[in-house]
Amino acid sequence: MRKQLSTRFRSTKPASHRLPPKALSPTAVASSPSSSSSSSSLTPGRGGRRSRCPKSEWCVYLILSSRLNRSYVGVTTNFVRRLKQHNGEIKGGAKAASAGRPWSLACIIRGFVDRSEACRFESLWKSISRKMSRKKKEENAVNPVLQHREAALNRVKTEFDCSCLGIEWQSPALN
């Protein structure tokens, strides 16, 4: 059986190529105590997060250059491998990060539901960082780039539901 895609264009698509309806991820199904409809409902509001905090491997990270006054924000499921890629130890990594080698971890944020949510968070953090004005250098400033990213992250927290996220700063100056 073939389904007509539109009345104007008479192209057709086989019915067997329809996508199945979206299902819950295996981790969300396994963590719910019962299969009632309330356990799979989304909480209204920002981010469309599930009512419970599911375990996910997606994380957003902030790395700092040891050579330049530069930082980089990215998304990954395996941070150790990704940092090695950025530092040129293994193949891959972002071209934008090649100039600042070597890189070190400044902050890692875990607990995203899926890749889409992690990418939305990363994009929001980057765009707020770009739009924020940079403060004049202070005498006691540890790292102005790090302080700028932290201020941007604090603004992201007001626009994004961070209730299930674990934010870990690796720098002792910012916690």
- Examine the pLDDT at 67 and tell me if it is beyond 60: yes
* Residues 85, 88, 91: CA angle, nearest 5 degrees: 55
Judge whether 44 and 30 are in contact, CB under 8 Å. Answer: no
Out of 85-89, 91-95, 96-100, the most confident range is 85-89
The predicted pLDDT at position 25 comes to 44
Give the list of residues 6+ apart from residue 110 with CB closer than 8 angstroms, or none. Answer: 56, 58, 59, 165, 166, 168
> Which amino acid, one-letter code, is at 38?
S
Locate the domains of the chain by residue range: 59-132+144-169
pLDDT, greater one: 79 or 56 = 79
- Examine the pLDDT at 54 and tell me if it is beyond 70: yes
Q: What is the pTM of this model?
A: 0.68
- Summarize pLDDT for 122-161 with one digit per residue, the tens: 999 999 999 998 876 666 667 889 999 999 999 999 999 9
CA torsion 78-127-145-111 (nearest 10°) is -30
The predicted pLDDT at position 56 comes to 81
